[in-house]
A = this chain, B = another copy of it.
Amino acid sequence: MATKLNLDKLDYQIIQEMMENAEISYADLGKKFFVSAGTIHVRIKKLQEAGVVKGTKLNVDLKQLGYDVIAFIGVYLEKSSLYDIVAEELRKIPQIVRLNYTTGNYSMFGEVVCKDITELRQILHDDLQKIKGIERTETFISLDESFGRNVQVYKTK
């Protein structure tokens, strides 16, 4: 953990804006928030050094790239102490893009992105069955994403 954070309104405004659109220029950000491009630069540098801003990611259309199936998988473990071992095995399956250790029904909860249902079935039947320590899994296939958005760190209105 870096030095203590002390973010002001402008910092939050910059983060909020760039979470949606990281390509915006410092000049345009400055115009929007009534400061100079130099000030924006200093703020972003500060946020990067503090580790609040970790980088930028490309936002791609998975459907157009041929990834038609998104599913969530709830995993029941035989013993919760097996978490780390099973997590390492699940990491080897590249279609699993996210894995969380959770409270509640499931010991762990994953998200899978696949080309098609055939690929999903292969993961569920072939790959997951081979992993020792998994008692069973439950799968929820996403039929539609209602919305996906960012956290609100600054309220616009």
Please state if B15 and A138 are interface contacts (CB–CB under 8 Å): no
A70 near B140 with CB under 8 A, answer: no
Q: Using Cβ atoms and an 8 Å threshold, which residues of chain B touch A77?
A: none
B55 and A59: CB pair below 8 A?
A: yes
A94 contacts the other chain (CB 8 A): yes
Shortest distance in angstroms between A47's beta carbon and chain B's nearest beta carbon?
8
Q: Mark A34-63, 1 if CB is under 8 A from B, else 0.
A: 000000000000000011111111111110
- Shortest distance in angstroms between A133's beta carbon and chain B's nearest beta carbon? 14
Chain A: number of interface residues, binned into ranges: 35 or more
Asked if B91 contacts A147 (CB within 8 A), the reply is: yes
The residue in chain B whose Cβ has the minimal distance to the Cβ of A144 is B101
Bound state CA distance, A20 and B72, in angstroms? 22
Chain B positions within 8 Å of A52 at CB level:
60-61, 64-65
Known: A144-B100, A145-B98. A72 touches B109 (CB 8 A): yes
